[in-house]
């Protein structure tokens, strides 16, 4: 997997500018810095998630770990009579 260089540089610029503004003495600049850092970190999460359409967890399935619907378990079945009528 090769990340997009433009997104990496944009994320680095957002986090760097946000850090600079966050360390300033003005409250408005500190809040804007916090906002920019948050956007840069979210962009890093998107970059790290991989290509679109790929599964988020990659690896061989464990034996006996087939998918089950939770509604087939006894405690998920609907009640036979409702106390509210």
Whether the predicted pLDDT of 80 surpasses 80: no
Is the pTM for the entire model greater than 0.75?
no
Give the pLDDT confidence score for residue 31 in this predicted structure.
Answer: 96
Say which residue, 48 or 75, is predicted with more confidence.
48
> What does the alpha-carbon distance between residue 47 and residue 33 come to, in Å, rounded to a whole number?
21
Give the pLDDT confidence score for residue 2 in this predicted structure.
Answer: 76
**Chain-centre distance of CA 36, in angstroms?**
17
Give the pLDDT confidence score for residue 51 in this predicted structure.
Answer: 76
Q: Which residue has the tokens 């997104």?
A: 7
Q: Which of 10, 9, 3 is nearest to 48 (CA)?
A: 3
């Amino acid at each position: 997997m090769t990340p997009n260089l433009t997104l990496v540089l944009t994320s680095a610029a957002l986090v760097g500018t946000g850090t600079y503004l966050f360390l300033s003495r003005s409250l408005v600049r500190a809040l804007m810095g916090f906002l920019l850092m948050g956007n840069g970190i979210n962009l890093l999460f998107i970059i790290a998630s991989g290509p679109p359409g790929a599964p988020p967890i990659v690896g061989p399935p464990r034996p006996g770990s087939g998918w089950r619907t939770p509604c087939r378990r006894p405690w998920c079945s609907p009640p036979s009579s409702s106390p509210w009528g």
